[in-house]
Amino acid sequence: MPLLPDHLIAGYRNFITGRYVSESDHYRSLAREGQAPETMIIACCDSRTAPETVFDAGPGELFVLRNVANLIPPYEPDGEYHSTSAALEFAVQSLKVKNIVVMGHGRCGGIKAALSHNSAVPLSPGDFIGKWMSLISPAADTVAASTMMTTGERATALERISIRYSIANLRTFPCIKILEDKGKLALHGAWFDVSTGELWAMNKATGDFERPEIG
């Protein structure tokens, strides 16, 4: 029984003899001085949407949190286990990131599940996804009921609505609200289309998604 799957060992071999060598000075200085990323990205677990790949980022550049459907729950200091909130707290209060980007994506399985199980009730007692996606049940119910839209249009709509929802929830965290009001922290929305590679960014004034100029 191998210690790790073969494809991981092969990938690591490429990394340690390639990128790690060419960027060794950078890795050493990051180890010595610690990380100081300016941007936190909240992305989906989906294997096709790695922020480091989409934004061509190197070590130390992005503080990345990934969960199913890139959702931010509201601020709930209730003594329970909140992994997403813990990562946010660390990024904002310790690393003092200047930007938080909620990045959704096309063909999101979590969003698809929310649309097909448009109920706040989890699928089963052991169903974590149903409970997690119930965060956006009100929006999912509304979008799912819209017979004017195609299945694809409904998915894209909810993917983008959920980004706006997560950004609104970011503002329920007192430390985030205060820093944003002081102009020390900017909140952004983005949506990545897996099939075309297109990146869309949220217009903060309107909430609409637009293609950014990339030069």
Distance of closest approach, residue 70 Cβ to Zn ion, in angstroms: 7
Distance of closest approach, residue 54 Cβ to Zn ion, in angstroms: 13
Rank residues 108 and 140 by Cβ distance to Zn ion and give the closer one: 108
Is the CB of residue 89 less than 8 Å from the CB of residue 177? no
Binding site for Zn ion (CB under 5 A): 44, 46, 108
Distance of closest approach, residue 109 Cβ to Zn ion, in angstroms: 6
Over the chain, what HEC string results?
CCCCCHHHHHHHHHHHHCHHHHCHHHHHHHHHHCCCCCEEEEEECCCCCCHHHHCCCCCCCEEEEEEHHHCCCCCCCCCCCCHHHHHHHHHHHHCCCCEEEEEEECCCHHHHHHHHCCCCCCCCCCCHHHHHHHHHHHHHHHHHCCCCCCHHHHHHHHHHHHHHHHHHHHCCCHHHHHHHHCCCCEEEEEEECCCCCCEEEECCCCCCEECCCCC
Rank residues 61 and 159 by Cβ distance to Zn ion and give the closer one: 159
Rank residues 101 and 185 by Cβ distance to Zn ion and give the closer one: 101
Distance of closest approach, residue 8 Cβ to Zn ion, in angstroms: 22
Rank residues 52 and 89 by Cβ distance to Zn ion and give the closer one: 52
Rank residues 44 and 114 by Cβ distance to Zn ion and give the closer one: 44
Rank residues 45 and 123 by Cβ distance to Zn ion and give the closer one: 45
